[in-house]
Amino acid sequence: MVSSKKLSDFFQNPTYLEKQKLEILKTIFPGLTIPLKSFLKVLSERSHLYLIPAIAEEYSKIILDFQKCTIVKLSTANILQENSGNLLLNTLKNLTNSKTIILNVSYNPKLLGGIILEYKSTLIDLSILKEFTLFFREI
């Protein structure tokens, strides 16, 4: 539901009956457990099936916190070398107090060099672009 725009729009659309939405969920996921079927039925009765993506996202956050796992977004201007990647992962484990790091890497040549890290509500900007911006503001 999260990755499919059509399916998401279908569940967001109030013109479709909640019964239809529930039947589609049961068709897509035939092996649902009894507690999950009951939960979906309650959501359906209250016209809240559209909340499933948000519920799944929050549940994932809880599971990740329980497992001491942190998702870190890394933006860099260059491809990371293997040895620097391992050093970065170990540093991030210490910085976030996590056992496991899930690293989402994106490349942004506009940074000119350095990296930007984002995790939870923290942003660490170690890019050359930021330094140039601060330098030109002072001039």
Q: What is the pLDDT of residues 113-139, one digit of tens each?
A: 888 999 888 899 988 888 777 877 887
Mean per-residue pLDDT for 87-93?
85
Q: Regarding beta strands 100-107 and 69-76, do their DSSP bridges make them parallel or antiparallel, or are they unpaired?
A: parallel
Q: How far apart, in whole angstroms, are the C-alpha atoms of residue 110 and residue 121?
A: 23
In a domain, 62, yes or no: no
Q: Are residues 73 and 23 in the same domain?
A: no
pLDDT tens per residue, range 2-60: 678 888 888 888 888 999 999 988 898 899 999 999 999 999 999 998 888 888 888 98
For the whole model, what pTM was predicted? 0.60
The confidence score (pLDDT) of residue 38 equals 93
Q: How far apart, in whole angstroms, are the C-alpha atoms of residue 24 and residue 29?
A: 8
**What is the extent of the structural domain holding 13?**
5-57
Q: Are residues 44 and 79 in the same domain?
A: no
Q: Are residues 90 and 34 in the same domain?
A: no
Bridge partner residues of 70 (DSSP)? 101
Amino acid at 104: N
Bridge partner residues of 105 (DSSP)? 74
Q: Are residues 46 and 24 in the same domain?
A: yes
For the chain, the domain total comes to: 2
The confidence score (pLDDT) of residue 36 equals 92
In a domain, 94, yes or no: yes
Q: Are residues 96 and 115 in the same domain?
A: yes
pLDDT-derived band at 69 (thresholds 50, 70, 90) equals: very high
Q: Which residues neighbour 124 within 8 Å (Cβ) at sequence distance 6 or greater? A: 116, 117, 118
CA angle, 92 then 97 then 102, to 5°: 50
Q: Are residues 133 and 110 in the same domain?
A: yes
The confidence score (pLDDT) of residue 3 equals 73
Q: How far apart, in whole angstroms, are the C-alpha atoms of residue 69 and residue 58?
A: 14
In a domain, 121, yes or no: yes
- Residue that the structure tokens 């499933």 belong to: 52
Q: Are residues 33 and 92 in the same domain?
A: no
The confidence score (pLDDT) of residue 45 equals 92
